[in-house]
């Protein structure tokens, strides 16, 4: 019995390319390539999801380091898929192919790291940028009726406690 070596993502993409097949946008490498290299696409997508002006995004867009500072010796390296800033906002995109509680917790950790980074940067509360995380999911674990779910910090009556962060699941 021979063991087949598992193909790397790059080998799989090359194989698809040689066969003339369509690349799935849910492939991590394809997704990151599109999102990293196409600012106009990113601006349009962010506008469609959040309502932030496309003009503002295009005029004030800047890349951010997507690797987070490790807090302690047992914490593994954390790296967001896509992280960028625009005037008044820090936006994080995550592509999630499979549902697991670990995926949700990891993404929460990314959002928390962004919020901590913002808090550590000498902003006043009035000019502190809003942290936004957009999760593009290949699963529907929240509500099968809605395409977009928005999470904010709320009390039991629905009053928003903190307007400086939001999390979207699509």
Both tokens assigned to 57: 């995004």
**pLDDT, tens digit, 9 for 90 and up, residues 155-168:** 787 777 788 899 99
Quote the CA–CA distance of 14 and 21 in Å, as a whole number. Answer: 10
Is 132 within 8 Å of 89 (Cβ atoms)? yes
Q: Which residue has the tokens 């898929």?
A: 81
Nearest to 18 by CA among 26, 28, 7: 7
User: If pLDDT is split at 50, 70 and 90, which confidence band does 74 have?
Assistant: very low
Is 81 within 8 Å of 106 (Cβ atoms)? no
Greatest CA separation for the chain: 65
DSSP three-state, residue 44: helix
**pLDDT, tens digit, 9 for 90 and up, residues 91-141:** 999 999 888 899 889 899 999 999 988 988 878 888 899 999 999 988 877
Is 115 within 8 Å of 131 (Cβ atoms)? yes
């Amino acid at each position: 019995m021979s063991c087949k070596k598992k193909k790397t993502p790059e080998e799989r993409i090359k194989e698809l390319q040689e066969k003339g097949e369509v690349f799935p946008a849910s492939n991590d490498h394809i997704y990151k390539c599109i999102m990293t290299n196409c600012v106009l696409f990113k601006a349009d997508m962010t506008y469609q999801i959040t309502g932030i002006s496309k003009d503002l995004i295009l005029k004030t867009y800047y890349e951010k380091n997507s690797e987070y500072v490790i807090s302690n010796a047992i914490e593994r390296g954390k790296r967001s898929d896509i992280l960028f800033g625009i005037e008044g906002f820090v936006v994080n995109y995550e592509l999630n192919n499979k549902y697991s509680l670990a995926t949700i917790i990891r993404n929460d950790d990314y959002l928390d790291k962004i919020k901590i980074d913002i808090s550590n940067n000498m902003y006043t509360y009035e000019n502190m940028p809003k942290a936004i995380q957009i999760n593009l999911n290949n699963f529907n674990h929240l509500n099968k009726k809605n395409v977009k779910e928005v999470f904010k910090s709320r009390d039991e009556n629905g009053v928003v406690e903190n307007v400086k962060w939001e999390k979207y699941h699509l």
